[in-house]
A and B are shown apart, each in its own frame.
Chain A
Amino acid sequence: ETGVTQSPTHLIKTRGQQVTLRCSSQSGHNTVSWYQQALGQGPQFIFQYYREEENGRGNFPPRFSGLQFPNYSSELNVNALELDDSALYLCASSFSDPRDTQYFGPGTRLTVL
């Protein structure tokens, strides 16, 4: 069974640029959630995708957007990067039952200069 994978592992961008982060779900999972973890803090929910549709969103501006593909993999896009976007971005996959466990990938460390 393949776990959740994310790419790239590290990324450095400058303010104002755009970035795309990628996530491959664990085999059989159809739901993907994205979280932002700033240094020294707990992860914050960005949004969740199910059947290629956004299925819940946290308190993040519209410049954070996402996609889910038919194979359930997902992308997180951030436009107009700001310094405060520097964080570890975590992807989690699960089944669609709300009681199911979310399994996390290793994350992408984004640094905005």
Chain B
Amino acid sequence: AQSVTQLDSHVSVSEGTPVLLRCNYSSSYSPSLFWYVQHPNKGLQLLLKYTSAATLVKGINGFEAEFKKSETSFHLTKPSAHMSDAAEYFCVVSKLTGGGNKLTFGTGTQLKVEL
């Protein structure tokens, strides 16, 4: 079965400092992995996705993630946090179901950005 574990439920950083949100995955085959962001009272927005191409994936708003098969990790990073980055972040793995795919979400990491 596919699953993801987000290692931190809350992360707090100062504006302008690096962001690291950690995610480990479990999958019986080469997975598709995603990071989504959810701002308060909003839907989910895709930050980036990995689908077995380059292991370093660049996303929107300066975020990137590196797929490390040996460590079964897909950590999300950003060199410099901005106040607008404060939100809930979800690491997601995709599982094929018949002709489609099912997304399995982690429990989320709440990112707080302080002045």
What's the dominant secondary structure at chain B's contact region? strand
- The yes or no answer to A101 lying at the interface (CB within 8 A) is yes
Tell me how far the C-beta of A29 lies from the nearest C-beta in chain B, rounded to whole angstroms: 12
Contacts of B107 in A (CB 8 A): 41-42
- The yes or no answer to B104 lying at the interface (CB within 8 A) is yes
Cβ B103 vs Cβ A33 within 8 A: yes
Contacts of A103 in B (CB 8 A): 46
* A-B residue pair count with CB separations less than 8 angstroms: 69
Tell me how far the C-beta of B41 lies from the nearest C-beta in chain A, rounded to whole angstroms: 8
Beta-carbon contacts under 8 Å, B90-106 to A: 90, 94, 96-106
Number of interface residues of B (CB under 8 A): 25
Per the bound structure, the CA–CA distance linking A33 and B102 in Å amounts to 8
Cβ B100 vs Cβ A96 within 8 A: yes
Cβ B100 vs Cβ A44 within 8 A: no
Cβ B51 vs Cβ A31 within 8 A: no
Cβ A101 vs Cβ B97 within 8 A: no
Mark interface residues in A71-100 (1 if CB within 8 Å of B CB, else 0): 000000000000000000010100010111
> Could you jot down 8 A-B contacts, CB within 8 Å?
A31-B100, A33-B103, A41-B108, A42-B105, A42-B108, A55-B99, A56-B98, A58-B102
New contact pairs (20) apart from A50-B99, A58-B102, A101-B34, CB-CB < 8 Å? A41-B108, A42-B106, A42-B107, A45-B102, A45-B104, A48-B102, A55-B97, A55-B98, A55-B100, A56-B97, A56-B100, A90-B43, A96-B100, A98-B94, A98-B100, A99-B51, A100-B101, A103-B46, A106-B42, A106-B43
| B residues with CB within 8 A of A | 32, 34, 36, 42-46, 49, 51, 90, 94, 96-108
